[in-house]
Structure 1
Amino acid sequence: MKLYFIRKIILLTTLLSSTLFISSCDDLNIFSSFKERLEGRWYFEKVTYQKDFSFKVENITSEYDDVYFEFDKNRDVTVEYIDADGNLVHIDGQWDRQYETDCDAFDDDDECDDISILQIALMQNGPLPVSNYSWEVITLNSNKLVVTENTINGRIKYRLRKEY
């Protein structure tokens, strides 16, 4: 009889805690889509650059002060920044999410991994892209976006925060 009540208490506790967890997921945006989490205005919190074959990581965040990316659900993106003359510049473009398969030879498991890629094409006064970005998405939640970009000589890691 005692064992019966202990099992009931454990079952009720498990049920209550899972209900509490699921009801709090709206605050964490765990079950929201990629588009919903990406939507909004983002600023660069920290940007680092690491040259190929180097252990040194350089903080280049100051180069991204006053640069904002604004994404919407319709796959439009706007970049705003202050140019050298102090003028506010707006550049519009499109974004898309793609997947790549990574079958790295140095991977411990013998399986391939799907990598989420955020493609951004910015246009300025014409149909041809001014800039193209290909960012590997490391983390995206309701208020933080961490992406990396491979360059000719190294790798840039961007950590962005959503502006509220």
Structure 2
Amino acid sequence: MGCFIAMQEPSIAPLLKDLQSPDESIRDRATQALWRIWFEQKGVLGFETIQRAQTLLQEGNIAEAEATLTALVEDQPDFAEAWNRRAVLYYTQGQYQQAIADCETVLRLNPVHFGALHGLGLCHAVLGNYPAAIESFRKATAIQPYALANQRLLLECTMRLG
């Protein structure tokens, strides 16, 4: 029952509320705090493994970065951010179906993961699946109403449907 570890953090509800604040500094602090909670869900080892994969990716060692993240999700299948990082890797490599599958896993584990909702929307938009993209961007916007990127993408996808 580790599915909602991030959700059970006592600090997460106020942070989600702060994402709705008209004050940008409050929203920024809440966003950073949520990312920290998500990245640190599995302690130092999980965080360091994600960092190692990110370094490998930045160095262009995509196969080893993917292998590192795959080993992490196999070892820690309830570590939502590990799945999210692998989804980002797949997206940057144009492997949109794999990215979608990983984003969907993130959202099963952490339904308020606005990064995964954004990524899921991007993947669907690239594939021309605008209704699914719109749904993802709407959900992301409900969590982060002031996120201009999601508002813009929601509008773009809606216009493409029209």
TM-score w.r.t. the length of structure 1 is 0.21
Bigger strand share: 1
